[in-house]
């Protein structure tokens, strides 16, 4: 198949490009002129230069493609308006272009943030539950989902909601791991689901291949739930470090998010919006629908995934 991957140079996009090439698909990556191509520089893929706000560039990128995987999104906005301008409006324009150019399957990388938190680990968030996002990011992602679903009769789409995705190349996980290496074990928030990046992109390929209804929505995770203390203990053990537990109350997390946002000129992954998500008590999702309809089964649980990621970081002196 001829495939287009938006955000091809990013953490998730680059892993997806590798998998698609490994499976024998042709790959075109949508990137910006200023994009860092480190992770895809050695891949035999075609590059299309464009922007989600530039419709003409999207037409050029999508023309002739069978499948489109939309991984591009903003998580470090300079302004909260960017959450809607890029994540919603950009997705809407891209989906419209894909419908017009005859794309056969559109896979949207959405987020558990679009659905909002669950009530408890015993009642994980399911696709049939009412979406109640608590952040600007989540609301932008939900609007993006709705824009894609509105086109479901013209564009065959599948929407994947991911919790936190971790693995090699992810710089956001380094904050936690570097603190653990220093002996600090921060604990905040409640319980949550995660997914290893290789499982995430494998789920996306299944979504493109499987015969499912247009507009279908699926949660993707490793099927377990964790808390920050338990996850940190696993990581500390893998790092061979003894750590001191430091509990961060919700007010401190929110204050830190505000300060981080104030002092970041380029936009920060940790901001007021992210802090609002982190203080929620439960981000556990139900993956049974993905198992039944996509045949998705995770290959990585936390210890295996973290072990592989930590080795990768250490080999490159990131950690």
Q: What is the pLDDT of residue 246?
A: 76
Q: What is the pLDDT of residue 270?
A: 53
Closest CA to 14 of 46, 34, 43: 43
Domain 2-169+195-221+285-299 belongs in CATH node 1.10.8.350: no
239 backbone dihedrals φ, ψ, rounded to 5°? -80, -10
DSSP-derived secondary structure letter, 131: P
* pLDDT, mean of each 10-residue run, the chain (319 residues): 97 98 98 94 95 94 98 67 77 97 98 95 96 92 97 98 96 87 84 97 98 98 94 93 75 51 51 64 95 98 97 95
Q: What is the pLDDT of residue 292?
A: 98
Q: How do the domains of the chain map onto residue ranges?
A: 2-169+195-221+285-299
Q: What is the pLDDT of residue 248?
A: 64
Q: What is the pLDDT of residue 280?
A: 73
Bridge-based pairing state of the strands 191-192 and 282-283: parallel
Q: What is the pLDDT of residue 267?
A: 47
Give the global pTM.
0.92
Please say whether the beta carbons of 195 and 225 come within 8 A: no
How is residue 60 written in tokens?
Answer: 């050029």
d(CA 248, CA 282): 16
In DSSP notation, 54-81 reads -HHHHHHHHTT-SEEEE----SS-SSTH
Distances (CA, A) of 43 to 2, 38, 51, 79, 286: 15, 10, 21, 34, 35
């Amino acid at each position: 198949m001829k495939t287009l991957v938006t955000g091809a140079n990013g953490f998730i996009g680059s892993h997806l490009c590798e998998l698609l090439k490994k499976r024998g698909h042709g790959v075109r990556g949508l990137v910006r002129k200023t994009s860092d191509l480190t992770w895809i520089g050695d891949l035999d893929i075609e590059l299309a230069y464009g922007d989600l706000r530039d419709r003409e560039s999207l037409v050029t990128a999508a023309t002739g493609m069978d499948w489109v995987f939309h991984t591009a999104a903003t998580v470090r906005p300079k302004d909260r308006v960017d959450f809607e301008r890029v994540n919603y409006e950009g997705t809407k324009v891209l989906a419209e272009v894909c419908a017009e150019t005859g794309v056969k399957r559109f896979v949207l990388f959405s987020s558990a943030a679009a659905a909002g938190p669950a009530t408890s680990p015993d009642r994980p968030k399911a696709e049939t539950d009412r979406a109640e996002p608590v952040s600007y990011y989540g609301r932008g992602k939900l609007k993006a989902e709705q824009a894609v679903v509105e086109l479901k009769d013209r564009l065959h789409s599948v929407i994947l909601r991911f919790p936190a995705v971790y693995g090699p190349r992810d710089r956001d996980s380094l904050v936690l791991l570097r603190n653990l290496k220093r002996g600090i074990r921060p604990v905040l928030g409640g319980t949550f689901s995660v997914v290893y990046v290789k499982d995430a992109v494998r789920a996306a390929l299944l979504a493109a291949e499987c015969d499912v209804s247009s507009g279908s929505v699926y949660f993707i995770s490793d099927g377990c739930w964790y808390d920050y203390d338990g996850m940190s203990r696993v990581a500390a053990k893998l790092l061979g470090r003894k750590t001191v537990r430091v509990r961060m109350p919700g007010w401190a997390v929110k204050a830190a998010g505000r300060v981080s946002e104030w002092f970041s000129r380029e936009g920060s992954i940790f901001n007021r919006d992210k802090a609002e998500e982190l203080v929620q008590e439960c981000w556990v999702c139900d993956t049974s629908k993905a198992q039944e309809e996509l045949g998705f089964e995770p290959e990585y649980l936390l210890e295996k995934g973290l072990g592989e990621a930590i080795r990768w970081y250490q080999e490159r002196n990131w950690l």
